[in-house]
Amino acid sequence: MDLTPERWARIEALFHEALNRPPAARAAFLEAACGEDDELRAAVEALLAADADAPELLEATASDFADLMPDDEPAAPMLPEQIGPYRVLREIGRGGMGRVYLAERTDVGKRVALKLVQGGLASPERVQRFLFERKVLARLQHPNIATLLDAGMTPDGVPYFAMEYVEGEPIITYARSLPLRARLELFLTVCEAVRHAHQNLIVHRDLKPSNILITADGQVKLLDFGIAKLLEDDSVTEAVHTRTALRAMTPEYAAPEQVRGEPITTATDLYALGVLLYELLTGRRPYEVSGRTPGEVERIVCETAPPKPSTAVTRAVPERTPTEAARLRKRLRGDLDTLVLMALRKEPERRYGSVGALIADVRRYLDGHPIAARGDSAAYRLRKFVGRHRVGTAAAALVVVLLLGFVYREAALRAEAEAARDAARLEAEKAEQVAAFLQDVFKTSSPAGEAQPDATARDLLARGARQVRQELAEQPAVQATMLHVIGDVYFGLGLLDEADSMLTRALALRRQVLGEDHPDVAETEDVLAQLRNQRGAFEEAEALARQALATRRVQPEPDSADVARSLQTLAQVLNRQARYEEAERLLREALTLLPPATNPGTATAQIQHDLAGVLYARGKVPEAETLYRDALAIHRQLYGDHHIRVVEGLNAVGLMLREQQRLDDAEQLLRQAYTRGRRLLGHVHPTVATITYNLALTLQNQGHLPEAEALYHEVLAMDRELLGERHPYVAGDLDVLGTLMHDQGRLDEAEAFYREALDLRRNVLGPDHPDVASSLNNLAALFLDRGTLDEAERLYREALDLRRNRLGMEHPKTALSLNNLGATLQRMGRLEEAEALIREAVAISRAAWDTASPPLATYLNNLGEVLANQGRLDAAEAAYREALAVRLTLHGPDNARVARSQVNLARVLVQQGATAEAETLFIAAARICRTTDPDPTTLAEALRAHADLLIALQQPARAAALRREAQAVAPPDSPAAAQNRMGSTADATEPGS
C-alpha cells in the first residue's frame, strides 16, 4: 500500500469511527465505508485487531518496549536530521512509543521534545498506542502540565508528536531550601495539575519527583503522561484487569493496589501524592524498597504502616540541626501527620475522596481551620478557632453569653448608664455580633449548609421573626439587620412569600435609620432584587438591582466583592428579560473585580455559572459548557458533593449535554441532581422545580413519555404553588406539556397548552420576548402537521422576525426559525425560497458550533430533501451524506436519527442508480429500528423504500415480504409520523425554550 499522509488520515478516521461502534457492527460499517478498497479495509481491521489484543497503551517501560521493535532494527540508528518541520538536535531518551529527541522548529526556533514511533507503521499495535497517547495528551491543557504542541507524520508515514520541552530540577531538590508553608503551596500546585487530569478522566499512574520539574522561573511542570490511563476507555480498562506483567509504576511511589496489579483509579494518584507530600515534608519516603524482591516490595507497601511524618523527621535530612528538626516535628505533629497518613491509607476507598478534597484539607491547614481528616470534637475545633482568633476569642465568648441570655434589655440598661456616644457605639457592635451569630445558626438550617431543611428549621425561623419584631422594636437598626438575615434564609429555603415580607420590612427600616446611600441598604436591595427576579417582577427587580449597584459604586472605598455581587444580580435580572449582551458585559466586569483565577472562590464560581447561562441563551453552547464545568469543579472543591451549588452545577452541565443530544449522559447527571436536590431542599423548591423540568425534558427526548409527563405535571404544580399562575416558568411548563402531547399525536390537547403558554408569555414577558417566539414556533409546527400550511407559514415568519430583531442574525434559534420556515415552504412547493432559507440556517449552525451539532444534521437533511425535489441529485447526495456523518459522530451507529439519514441517502442513491449502496443502507436502517433503537415509523419507511427497490430489481418475493413487515409494524397514519418522515419538524418543536 502507498501510505501517503492523506491515505493514513483516511485509515485513522475509519479506525476511530469503527472503534466507536459495537464489535458486531464493525464489519457492516467497514463494508459500506471501504467499498471495494480491500487494502483500506485490511489496514483498518489490523488496527482494530491490535486494539483488541494489545496491552494498555504505553504500559511497558522503555526496556519492555524494545521487545516490540522489529528484529532487524539497528541498535544505534543514525540521528535523523529533520522530522517534519523540526530539526533534530540530539536524542534525549527512550520511552512511550520509542525515541525522544530534542528538536527545534525551523520556522520559529522553538525547542521541543519530539517523540517518534520507531519502525514506521510496521506494527498496527504500536500505531494504535501512539494514536491513543496523542488523544490523552491533547486533552491535558493546563499551565502546569507539559503541553502537546504538535502532531503529524513524516513523508514515510511515521507518526510523531512534539511536546513542550521542559528544563528544570525535580521538585524535591528544588524544595529543600523552602520553608514549610512554601512547600505546601508548591504541593497544592502539583495537586491542581493532577486534578485537571482527573477531571479529564485521566490517571497519571507514575507520579514521582523526577516527573515533576520546577523551571528556572519557579513554574511547576508535570511530565510523562505517556503511561496515563484513560478512565472512560473500555478497551483500555479491560487491559488493566487482564494484564499485569508490564505494570507501569515506580515501587517507591506505587499504591498497594498498583503493586498487586489491581484496577487503577484516581485514588492511585492520591496515594502517590501522599508519598510526595511525605517526602516534601520530611526529606525521606515512607518506605525504602530499593534492592528488594517483588514479593518484599508488595509486603512492605501493602502491609507495613508508614511512620508518622513527625517521627520520620529525626532520621531525615542530615544537614538539619537538632533545633530545626524539633521545630519541624512540632509543626508536623497532629494535623499534617493525619493529613498525610489519610492519603497513604492502604484501602483506596479510605483515602481522600478526590484530589480536590486533599487540596481543601491542605488549604484548611494553611488557613488555620480544622481539617476534614481529623475528628469533629468540639475541643479540637475550639483550639483551631482560638488559634486563628486569639485577640477576638474573648469577644466571641461574649457574643455566646449575650445570645444565651438574649440580653438585649440588659444591653439597653447598660447603654442608659453610659454616655450617648458610647451607647450608640456599643449597640452597633453588638448588633453586628448578634446578627453574625444568628445568621450562622439559621444558615445551618439552610440548604447551602449540611443540614436538611425541615419543619424544625422553619419553626425556628418563625420564632426568630416573632422575637425580632417583639424584642427589638426599640432598636430599629438591630431589628432591620435581623429581618434581613431571616429573610435571606427564608429565600434560601424557597419560602418566597415569607422572604419577601422580611426583606421588604428590613429595607424600609434600613432606609429610615441609615439613609438611602448606606452599604447595608444596598445589601438588602440586592437580595430583594434577586427575590423579585425569581418571582417574575422584573421591573421592580431591575430598579432595586441598579440602586444597589449605584450605592456600592459611590462608597468612599468601594468593596470590590460587593460591587461584583451587584453586577451579578443586575445581570441575572437582565438575562431573564433576554437582554443578553448587557448581562454578559456586566458579568465579565464582575469577574475582573474578584481574586485571580489561581485561587477562585465561590463568588467567582457563581459568576462563571451565571455567565455560562447567558452564553447558553446566546447560543454559545460549547463555551457555556466549559464555564459550567469550571464552576462545578470549584464548588466541588469548596463544598464536596452534597451542596446546593454542586447540585445546580450538575443540573447545568446535564442541560448542556442534552443540548448536544448526549441524552444518556445528561440523564445520569440530572438524576443525580434531582435526587440530591430533593434531599437537600425538600420536594417543593424553585431549584428542585428547575432540575425536575430539565430531567423531564431529557426523558421526553429519549422517548420515555409517561415518566416525562408525570414529571412535567409535578413541575407545573410546584411552580404554581411557589410562583403563582402568572409567571414565565408556568408558561414554560405549559409549553413543554404541549410538545409532549404533540409528540403523541394528541394535537387538540397540544394546541390548548401552546395557546395558553403563548398568551401568558405575551402578557407577562411582552410581545417581543424571545420566549414568545418559541411558543409561536411550536404552534406553527402543530399547524404544519395538520396540513394548515398558510397558518404555519404566518406563525413561523412571526417567530423568525422576532428572533432576528431580539437575538440577531447569527443566533442558533434564528437558524431554527429559518429552517422551519424553509421546510414549510418546501411543503408548499416553493423550493427556491426554501433552499435559500435552509442554506442560511446551515451557515449559522456551522458558525455557532465548533463541532458537529444536532441542528446542523437536521438542516442538512432538510436541504437534501429540497435539492432532491428540485432534481439536483448530486447536491442532494452531498447534503445527505454530511447529515449522516454528523449524526454518526453525535449518536453512534445505532440511533434512529442515523437510520432516518440512511433512508434519505438511500433514496437519492436509488435515483442515481447506485442500488447496491442504497440496499446496504436500507438494511442497516431497518436493523437499527428493529433492535437497538426501535422506531416503527422509520422502520416502515425503510422497508417500503427497500421493497420498491427490489421490485425495480425484479425480486418480487423479497419485496412482498418487506411490504408485509412494513404493514405490520407501521403505526397508524398520524401527524407525528408525518413529521418524522419530513425530517425537520420532529427536531423543530422547542420543549423548554
Q: Which amino acid is at 275?
A: V
How, if at all, do strands 212-214 and 169-170 pair? antiparallel
Q: Are residues 53 and 68 in the same domain?
A: yes
Domain edge (last residue) among 383, 415, 438: 383
Task: Tell whether 342 and 203 lie within a shared domain.
Answer: yes
Give pLDDT tens digits for 947-975.
999 999 999 999 999 999 988 887 764 33
Please state, rounded to an integer, the average pLDDT across all residues of the chain: 78
Nearest to 240 by CA among 232, 249, 229: 229
Is residue 981, in this structure, part of any structural domain at all? Answer: yes
Q: What pLDDT band is residue 731 in, cutting at 50, 70 and 90? A: very high
Question: Coil, strand, or helix at residue 496?
Answer: helix
Q: Are residues 173 and 159 in the same domain?
A: no
Please check whether residues 884 and 955 belong to one and the same domain.
Answer: yes
Identity of the residue numbered 706: P
Residues 783 and 758 in one domain: yes
Task: Tell me which residue of 341, 336, 300 sits closest to 184, measured CA to CA.
Answer: 336
- Cβ atoms of 616 and 608 closer than 8 Å: no
Same domain, residue pair 214 and 118:
no
Contact 743, 976 (CB under 8 A): yes
| Beta strands across the sheet bearing 148-153 | 82-83, 86-95, 98-105, 111-117, 159-164, 148-153
Answer yes or no: pTM beyond 0.75: no
d(CA 935, CA 110): 55
Q: Is residue 802, in this structure, part of any structural domain at all?
A: yes
pLDDT level of residue 367 (50, 70, 90 thresholds):
confident
Q: 199: domain CATH number?
A: 1.10.510.10
Phi-psi region of 334 (alpha: psi -120 to 50; beta: other; left: phi over 0): left
pLDDT, one tens digit per residue, over 658-702 is 988 888 899 999 999 998 888 888 888 889 999 999 999 999 988
Separation of alpha carbons 434 and 440, rounded Å: 10
Does the annotation count 206 as an active-site position?
yes
Q: Is 513 exposed, middle or buried (0-12, 13-18, 19+ CB in 10 A)?
A: middle
- Judge if 257 and 131 occupy the same domain: no
Q: Is residue 110 part of a domain?
A: yes
Yes or no: say if 699 and 707 are a contact pair by the CB < 8 Å rule.
Answer: yes
The CATH number covering residue 869 comes to 1.25.40.10
What whole-number distance in Å separates Cα of residue 264 and Cα of residue 926?
A: 41
Evaluate whether residue 357 is within a structural domain: yes
Q: What is the full DSSP assignment across 508-571?
A: HHHHHHH-TT-HHHHHHHHHHHHHHHHTT-HHHHHHHHHHHHHHHHTSSS--HHHHHHHHHHHH
User: Which residue, of 383, 403, 425, is where some domain finishes?
Assistant: 383
Q: What span, in angstroms and rounded, lies between the C-alpha atoms of 860 and 876?
A: 9
Task: Identify whether 773 is part of a domain.
Answer: yes
Same domain, 791 and 933: yes
Long-range (24+ apart) CB contacts under 8 A made by 445-450 are 445/489, 445/493, 446/489, 446/492, 446/493, 447/492, 447/493, 447/644, 447/680, 447/681, 447/685, 448/492, 448/643, 448/644, 448/645, 450/642
**493 DSSP 8-state letter:** T
| Last residue of one domain, picked from the residues 383, 415, 447 | 383
> Domain tally for the chain?
3
Per the domain annotation, does 324 fall within a domain? yes
pLDDT in tens, 600-657: 677 888 999 999 999 988 878 888 999 999 999 888 887 777 788 899 999 999 999 9
Q: Is position 74 within any domain?
A: yes
Residue 525 lies in a domain: no
Q: Give the count of beta carbons closer than 10 Å to the beta carbon of residue 619.
A: 25
Q: How many residues does the chain have?
A: 993
Phi/psi for 858 (5° steps) reads -60, -45
Joined grid coordinates for residue 429:
457592635
CATH number of the domain enclosing 104: 3.30.200.20
253 and 141 share a domain? no
Q: Which of 197-201, 563-567, 613-617 has the highest mean pLDDT?
A: 563-567
**Grid cell for residue 145:** 502540565
Tens digits of residue pLDDT in 284-330: 999 888 777 778 888 899 988 899 998 887 544 444 566 677 788 88
Q: Are residues 255 and 134 in the same domain?
A: no
Same domain, 777 and 884: yes
Cell of 473: 422594636
- Reduced to 3 states, what is the DSSP secondary structure of residue 139? coil
- Residue 760's domain spans which residues? 725-987
Do 145 and 286 fall within a single domain? Answer: no
Contact in structure between 192 and 359 (CB atoms under 8 Å) = yes
Catalytic residue among 206, 335, 733, 771: 206
Low-confidence winner among 160-164, 399-403, 615-619, 762-766 (lowest mean pLDDT)? 399-403
